[in-house]
């Protein structure tokens, strides 16, 4: 998110439009998205192409309406788009500030379960530097949100850094922690390839609840009782915690600006990430904008 000298960063969009097709992880539906360059100060907005009116949803924390297994945003008309977090994570990692995302279904395609395909296709068309500085969100006070054994916090820091711990009751996943600063383009190498994951024992239950209908070994790491079911194995030794970081980077980008602060997540997910932003923005003395 924050490179060497954040004060010099300019806003960015993409050089050319990009169209990609895929399947929704939870809906199982085929979906096409088209990313289009957007002007300075536009931000990131989704436009549902099947709807003629009230079809725009801004990718912002206050539009988050559901956080069960993915992050869903809605507009005032009740139009929803879900599983936005991996695409948002790629946009954060590549410092894309302004973008229009046309979508013809209710869920962003899952691709391979990571954000790497989004990163690659954006790098393929190129990133366009725009002639205005990025607005940075500087955290001035420590904010923490807890829920049972899970917690997230953000504290003042001179750059964006992230620290995450997980602890699953599984001998394959169990305890993992990872800390990193996102500098010099390491989002792509250290985070973007980490895939979403799920447990084999949960699959039937998820599907009976209408979730993970598009999930497969092509777009998720599936963890069995004592082994990983994907033949190719893991992409990182600690791929699970790296994916949680990938998710958090995407969720935090819904702040609307890159965050300057230190984020710590402990066994947390989309719900607490959104609660953290809501608490941060609930009091103007918690933050300031650097422009
Ligand atoms: Zn995810």
Q: 187-197 pLDDT, tens per residue?
A: 999 999 999 99
42 is catalytic: no
10 Å Cβ neighbour count for 66? 15
For 6, the token pair is 């954040």
The residues, ordered by sequence, that sit 6+ positions from 21 with a Cβ below 8 Å of its Cβ are 30, 31, 32, 109
118 CA distance to ligand 1 centroid (A)? 13
10 Å Cβ neighbour count for 253? 27
pLDDT band of 6, cuts 50, 70, 90: low
pLDDT band of 1, cuts 50, 70, 90: very low
Which whole-number Å values give the CA distances from 95 to 17, 91, 123, 156, in the listed order? 17, 6, 12, 21
- In this prediction, residue 181 carries a pLDDT of 87
Q: Encode pLDDT of 244-275 as tens digits.
A: 999 999 999 999 999 999 999 999 999 999 99
244 CA distance to ligand 1 centroid (A)? 7
Q: What is the pTM of this model?
A: 0.96
Q: Is the pLDDT of residue 3 over 70?
A: no
- In this prediction, residue 110 carries a pLDDT of 97
Sign of the alpha-carbon torsion through 122, 265, 214, 74? negative
Q: Is the pLDDT of residue 4 over 60?
A: no
| Gap between the Cα atoms of 259 and 262, Å rounded | 9
Q: Is the pLDDT of residue 84 over 70?
A: yes
Which element (helix H / strand E) includes 124? Answer: helix 116-125
- In this prediction, residue 147 carries a pLDDT of 95
- In this prediction, residue 5 carries a pLDDT of 55
The percent of residues in the chain predicted with pLDDT above 70, rounded, is 98
Order the strands of the 80-81 sheet from edge to edge. 64-66, 72-74, 80-81
194 CA distance to ligand 1 centroid (A)? 9
Q: Which of 177, 134, 183, 144 is nearest to 263 (CA)?
A: 144
- In this prediction, residue 211 carries a pLDDT of 87
- Residue tagged active-site, from 48, 86, 243, 270: 270
- In this prediction, residue 242 carries a pLDDT of 97
Quick one: average pLDDT of 21-35? 96
71 CA distance to ligand 1 centroid (A)? 9
Q: Is the pLDDT of residue 112 over 80?
A: yes
Q: Are 261 and 240 a contacting pair, CB within 8 Å?
A: no
142 CA distance to ligand 1 centroid (A)? 25
287 CA distance to ligand 1 centroid (A)? 27
56 CA distance to ligand 1 centroid (A)? 23
| Gap between the Cα atoms of 36 and 18, Å rounded | 7
Quick one: average pLDDT of 94-120? 97
């Amino acid at each position: 998110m924050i490179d060497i000298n954040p004060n010099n960063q300019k806003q960015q969009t993409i050089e050319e439009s990009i169209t990609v097709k895929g399947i929704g992880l939870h809906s199982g539906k085929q979906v096409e998205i088209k990313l289009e360059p957007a002007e300075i100060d536009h931000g990131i907005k989704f436009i549902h192409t099947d709807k003629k009116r009230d079809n725009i949803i801004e990718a912002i924390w206050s539009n988050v309406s559901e956080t069960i297994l993915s992050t869903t945003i809605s507009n005032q008309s009740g139009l929803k788009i879900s599983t936005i977090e991996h695409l948002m994570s790629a946009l954060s990692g590549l410092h894309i500030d302004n973008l229009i995302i046309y979508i013809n279904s209710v869920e962003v395609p899952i691709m391979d379960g990571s954000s790497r395909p989004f990163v690659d296709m954006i790098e393929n068309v190129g990133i366009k530097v725009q002639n205005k500085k990025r607005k940075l969100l500087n955290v001035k006070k420590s904010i923490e949100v807890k829920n049972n054994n899970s917690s997230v916090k953000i504290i003042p820091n001179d750059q964006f850094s992230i620290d995450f711990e997980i602890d699953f009751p599984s001998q394959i996943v169990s305890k993992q922690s990872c800390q990193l600063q996102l500098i010099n383009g390491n989002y792509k190498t250290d985070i973007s390839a980490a895939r979403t994951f799920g447990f084999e024992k949960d699959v039937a239950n998820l599907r009976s609840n209408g979730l993970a209908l598009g999930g497969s070994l092509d777009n998720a790491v599936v963890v069995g009782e004592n082994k990983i079911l994907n033949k190719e194995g893991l992409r990182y030794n600690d791929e699970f915690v790296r994916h949680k970081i990938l998710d958090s980077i995407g969720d935090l980008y819904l702040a609307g600006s890159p965050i300057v602060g230190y984020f710590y997540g402990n066994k947390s997910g989309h719900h607490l990430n959104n609660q953290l932003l809501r608490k941060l923005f609930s009091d103007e003395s918690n933050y300031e904008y650097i422009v």
